[in-house]
Structure 1
């Protein structure tokens, strides 16, 4: 390995894998304490190495390093290499992934303390981290696909970790199938890249993009589509599966059946952000496909608005945060569609902090209430759990985009960027994300008030035992709360508006699409941006959302029931989640089962067993019995048969003449 940076990147990714193998194979022999020390320690060292890479690549401005260290296969002129691309984007991403993963590893020590699968869980979480690092560091589509499938597989294991629960098994299978649907699009996109570009290397593909813009493919007779557009749309189908965009979002709420630490890891900085990262990495392709950008904008806007509405009707505290994640992923997709790739990554980073914080704070509540997740059985917990309460408040304010918390900067920039975008569909997406500015604080503070304020609704047997979580749980909360407060103000200029942006030239934007460049003309510093928030519509929509949440939960809770009755048909639609789950269950699940039964009854039972197997036996038996009757043993019967044969032969011969 020629370059030491590649060696450090390889070591950074392999350390979690070593922890996963150690915990998985030797966990029982090592014991719980030694297992978690090894797993947490290796992820911690990996995080330190990622900080060093961040310093070298981002702060010191080291050029991007792209190096192959293993050739997996060759086919003619094609080489399939295991190679890493270490640049500003990948350096920032792996640092965020490892920071959140480290917090989750520490939190797991307290949350899973009494679980019999303790060491197995550490193995899965470390393996999940390894897969995400490979996905981020890959320099070609093949290695990207390896990491892509890795996080999908391990997420299946983690969501179904409590495999004796039917809901967990159902949720893990649903996540696996929904992701496979998206992966078909990703796999077809990879095949199209190889077919039209003759390589799977990012660098080589991006260098050929401009020459490939005129290439078309005939999907149907007399109907051709741009090759670039086809590849981008197929890639986005893959991103829709991983990043839970409508209609492939259905798996993400079901992932709540897994333990809370993995809910935080999946929803914060790893699996669900893989699709966002992938599209940002593929910006040189997407920029030359307005149709693909419009599709991303429209689907992202739809996801941001309509999935946010669903969170208002949920009572499971983890599902509220899960639908919030889907909605925020819609915001990131809108930024991508508006060519504001840096803003999408910026929101990905800030979202990683405050969403992990909210999940882990919710987990702290769940621990205190002996794994109760229904907010209707909570209330008044602020006085019992002050640290958890304060960290949840920080996460809620950041998610609601209240200045100066981190979510304010990233979300506000996305809303303003899509407002300036000229890509078709930008108008629709703008109104969706603008409405989301009201909906997000509404469901977030509804959960806050129902959990920590209002009257106590906990089980009377538990009230005397509710207490703050142990410090091994609280330390990650405090560690995530700090960047949830300061990360936005600290990074907004460097990430978005500086002439020497942190991401450098790792994302590509055509001059006609440079909406962030237009915004930069009106940016005069993070502090002034926060001070001027009071003059913006988004700020007052957020404040209205918080006030509405208070009125309907803590202030006048009867209003909530009155509104449900008055708009019962809308409430029914939201409770049924727009029918997506019903459609999947009735049409896809039951439809597939009935189709399977039909094929079984017709092809297997009747055709194969009835006709081929039993039918062939019946025919042979019938033929044998019939032929046996012809063998009578009388000479005159044989003579008659000979005469009849001669007559038939002569008749055929005369007919031919």
Structure 2
């Protein structure tokens, strides 16, 4: 499968062409070039998945092979330790290739309509190509250091795309915030990689078990530090603060980076290192579950009161990533069935969530395109004007709420089953969060498509359906959302590589369906009518809690206080004073003393022969006197 190198080469060439020569091309041509390249990349990804799963298939042991069609030593450190660059194909990397290429292609097509007429159109498509190449390189990495290199390229791509509207102050601030927060997290990732390389003697994902056993507690420490990097990229609490602000970028970028692919990089990292977590750091793995559960609950609570539709979807993303992290974290070697279930369920939900969350964000883009606002107060009654967007958005809402027979039901039910197998407390906690998910998504749905239409914000024209370049991706993703749950996902992706038969636990599924139905019913009662007296009364009755949730429980304010009042005022300011007055003062003193000494002795080099003779005689006389005194 050497042709898979095209998955990296083609988008990189597209990035170079559009980035260097894009301004010499008409915007329509640049968009067509970028989209055509991604269409080829998608075709190659689909063909690679078909050949891998059905052409090569399982070996005699019933396992899919791990293929490395390309690999080269890039940076030798020692005979045993070196950094390689290559392509690794196994079930989860092949699955991720399908996810990345599919969502990226839909975003490319959608952007032809959404970004039409935008300044920097060619630059936008260049950045999309760079992101696709970076994310693809991350998932096919043959070792942890190669993953880190592409991990940072993904961060650069995110920075460029979030800050695409560089004349907009909020977009610039959001791009810097995302870059800085994830850089702090990536420092932990890098330190973990260095510990791992030192004690494991390799950067490979499959190190020598004897070296790992001899390393003792250093391997759990290394894996924990790596998870810090994953937590930053996947916006886990308290490193989540960058993701909601990242919605300042173009809406298709939100669908591509912050809903479907980039934010699952942390999930993919834990899944890639899963055998090491289970074998050498199960306690660290369980702590990831606790972090994921708290993050999911926090984000769901915040999403219940947001008024900006993109921020609702952003916190929904944070919550759903929490579900995936929980599913991996509750996996344990003590219960092989639960362990395999949690791993498979996490990857299954990653796959299904990518499709319906991209659908939600692209649908939100159509809505914003129609009413020219992100605020729910500018919407209402749009189902009559935007039937395609309404139907597809409803499909995505039902899927994320976990309603049968859509894809979200199947993947989320498997996560809940794994959570209950780990702990009843974890199971009921995640079930409650699933109910909150259904509630806030249908609150969003009713506020957009039902209720009283607000014509004052439509710039004097009625809202209308988006062009075909924007609605066709919605229809495609909706069809995938309708059918993806019926894929026998466990037959292709499992924790040990063997086929895993998905068996619905109807005791769990029945409870989750009832909870989801209750959440939808509550949202219908509170928000489906033009007037919303119940919601208004609750907001007034619990005003302090409502305000706290709306302001994200003031986590951003805590960061501002810590950075400005503690770090800047108590640490940075004294250091700056010491630098200016002590360090710079000492250097200035040296310069002043040198200048003074130079002025004092410059007459000695005046060019006058008489002065030279005087200094020579004076020096000789001084030496004679000195010798006489010593002797």
Shorter-chain TM band:
0.7 to 0.9
User: Structure 1 residues 505 and 441 mapped into 2: Cα distance closer, same or farther (>3 Å)?
Assistant: closer
Q: SS at 1:202's partner residue?
A: coil
Gaps of 5+ in 2: 59-64, 332-341, 601-621
User: Which sits farther off after the overlay, 383-392 or 589-598?
Assistant: 589-598
The answer to whether residue 485 in structure 2 is matched with residue 485 in structure 1 is no
What is the match of residue 393 of structure 1? 394
Compute the displacement of 1:260 (Å). 0.4
Distance (Å, rounded) in 2 between the aligned partners of 1:619 and 1:108: 64
Q: 1:462-541 to 2 correspondence within 5 Å? A: 462=459, 464-488=461-485, 490-491=486-487, 494-496=488-490, 501-503=491-493, 523=503, 536-541=510-515
What is the match of residue 379 of structure 1? 380
Q: SS at 1:80's partner residue?
A: strand
Compute the displacement of 1:567 (Å). 1.3
Alpha-carbon deviations, 1:608-638, whole Å to 9, x = none?
344441586379869999xxxxxxxxxxxxx
What is the match of residue 15 of structure 2? 20
The answer to whether residue 400 in structure 2 is matched with residue 404 in structure 1 is no
User: Which sits farther off after the overlay, 319-328 or 576-585?
Assistant: 576-585
What is the match of residue 628 of structure 1? none
| Match of residue 438, structure 2, among 422, 441, 448 | 441
Alpha-carbon deviations, 1:335-394, whole Å to 9, x = none?
010121111010000000000000000000011113x10111111111000001101001
Q: SS at 1:462's partner residue?
A: coil
| 8 A Cα contact 1:268 1:353, kept in partner | no
Q: 1:493-642 to 2 correspondence within 5 Å? A: 494-496=488-490, 501-503=491-493, 523=503, 536-555=510-529, 557-589=532-564, 591-594=566-569, 598-599=573-574, 601-614=576-589, 617=592
What is the match of residue 44 of structure 2? 49
Q: SS at 1:358's partner residue?
A: helix
User: Structure 1 residues 232 and 458 mapped into 2: Cα distance closer, same or farther (>3 Å)?
Assistant: farther
| Match of residue 255, structure 2, among 259, 264, 269 | 264
Distance (Å, rounded) in 2 between the aligned partners of 1:618 and 1:212: 59
| Match of residue 278, structure 1, among 269, 280, 285 | 269
**TM-score, L = length of structure 1:** 0.85
Alpha-carbon deviations, 1:256-311, whole Å to 9, x = none?
00000110001333110111111111111110212112211100100111111100
The answer to whether residue 102 in structure 2 is matched with residue 112 in structure 1 is no
Alpha-carbon deviations, 1:99-142, whole Å to 9, x = none?
00000000000000020110100000111000000000111112
Alpha-carbon deviations, 1:517-551, whole Å to 9, x = none?
7x95xx27xxxx7xx58972211111111111122
Distance (Å, rounded) in 1 between the aligned partners of 2:445 and 2:526: 12
Distance (Å, rounded) in 1 between the aligned partners of 2:460 and 2:164: 29
Q: SS at 1:85's partner residue?
A: strand
Distance (Å, rounded) in 2 between the aligned partners of 1:418 and 1:210: 32
What is the match of residue 299 of structure 1? 291
What is the match of residue 420 of structure 1? 421
Distance (Å, rounded) in 1 between the aligned partners of 2:107 and 2:276: 35
User: Structure 1 residues 507 and 335 mapped into 2: Cα distance closer, same or farther (>3 Å)?
Assistant: farther
User: Structure 1 residues 42 and 622 mapped into 2: Cα distance closer, same or farther (>3 Å)?
Assistant: closer
Q: RMSD of the alignment, in Å?
A: 2.6
Q: How many residues align?
A: 587
| Match of residue 149, structure 1, among 152, 162, 165 | 152
What is the match of residue 71 of structure 1? 73
What is the match of residue 653 of structure 1? none
Gaps of 5+ in 1: 217-225, 509-515, 626-641, 651-657
Distance (Å, rounded) in 1 between the aligned partners of 2:522 and 2:556: 29
| 8 A Cα contact 1:305 1:327, kept in partner | yes
What is the match of residue 30 of structure 1? 25
Q: SS at 2:383's partner residue?
A: coil
Compute the displacement of 1:79 (Å). 2.7
Distance (Å, rounded) in 2 between the aligned partners of 1:301 and 1:534: 18
Q: SS at 2:117's partner residue?
A: coil
